Amino acid sequence: MSETLDHRLHAYRADLADIRLKGRVEAERFAEGTPGEVILPVVPVRPRPDADCSMDTEALLGETLTVFDRSGGWAWVKLAADGYVGYLREEAIAEGTSPATHVVSVPRSFVYPGPDLRFPHLKVLSMGSRVNVVGAAETRATPYALLDDGSAIIATHLRPIDETAAEDAVSVAARFLHTPYLWGGRSGLGIDCSGLVQMALAMTGKPAPRDSDQQAADLGTPIDPDRDGLQRGDLVFWKGHVGFLEDQHTLLHASGATMSVTREPLREAIDRIAKLYSHPTGYRRP
């Protein structure tokens, strides 16, 4: 009999499953999967191979993954960074993996066909995107990193991939202020509440689960506001929602009320959300 596992984190269907789940689930066949890499800037990851269904999350340029199946223009994958399982368009990935030396460290940055900001840009990359820098150039006192495909990006918008942000996670999250809210979004072009938490922590070297219920269950340690107090960096959870505390009185979150990343007094947020949904379900310290 199949064990009940979270489909978001375990790749299994009636016809096919991750070989690492053999003995835990039933499937017609099991597979190791093959390594792959995201080759487009921001790619929706969906629970079904259907462009009309809402997305669960997004994959960013340079992220690695395991491909278990390709069919009808879709690839069924497991993302390496957070283990998320879903479907993305087959043209968004390439087989194998390539070197990456740097990660985009600002919410979004343009890629140009050469080292000149006056050139028409080729694409927009989000924070967290991985690139391979092979050289450097300077045009009118602006430094550029040259990428392995011949394109260029502002050098100060990158950091070496083995370094973490010098600022704390709350400061990283605050760089997304006014970024549009997007259900399932995980980029500088649009982001949701748990995507903001995950991205900010990841940039400071702290991996986090993708969804708010997963974060509420496993991220850091639970705290009691009355006993432990609240401080900068603590997380406040509601059913289906999460936000950072900038200080004990201020919430920073991707809000469906403003449809953007915003800050608001914690007390006001609690009262507002309680009228529609509920009071906070928990607090955690990452």
**168-189 mean pLDDT:** 98
Residue 231 pLDDT exceeds 50: yes
Work out the average pLDDT over 247-273.
97
pLDDT value, residue 69: 98
Domains of the chain, by residue range, sit at: 17-95, 102-160, 169-285
Residue 133 pLDDT more than 70? yes
Asked whether the predicted pLDDT for residue 179 surpasses 60, the reply is yes
What share of the chain in percent tops pLDDT 90? 97
pLDDT digit string (tens) for 237-252? Answer: 999 999 999 999 999 9
Condensed to tens digits (0 to 9), the pLDDT of residues 39-49 reads: 999 999 999 99
What is the reported pLDDT for 1? 44
41: which 2 tokens? 């800037």
Which of the four pLDDT bands, split at 50, 70 and 90, describes residue 276? confident
Residue range 50-58: mean pLDDT, rounded = 97
Instruction: Indicate the CATH number of 17-95 among 3.40.50.2300, 3.40.50.300, 3.40.1080.10, 2.30.30.40.
Output: 2.30.30.40
Q: Does residue 279 surpass a pLDDT of 80?
A: yes
Per-residue pLDDT at 2? 60
- What pTM was computed for the model? 0.96
Domain 17-95 and domain 102-160, same fold? Reply is yes
CATH of domain 169-285: 3.90.1720.10
Q: Span 77-106, mean pLDDT? A: 97
Task: Give me the pLDDT at residue 210, please.
Answer: 98
The third-level CATH classification (topology) of the domain covering 102-160 is SH3 type barrels. (2.30.30)
Compute the distance between CA of residue 171 and CA of residue 198 in angstroms, rounded to an integer. 13
Instruction: Quote the pLDDT of residue 4.
Output: 84
| Mean pLDDT within 78-94 | 98
pLDDT of residue 38: 98
Mean of all residue pLDDT scores within the chain:
97
- pLDDT above 70 covers what percent of the chain? 99
Q: Do the beta carbons of residue 104 and residue 75 sit within 8 Å?
A: no
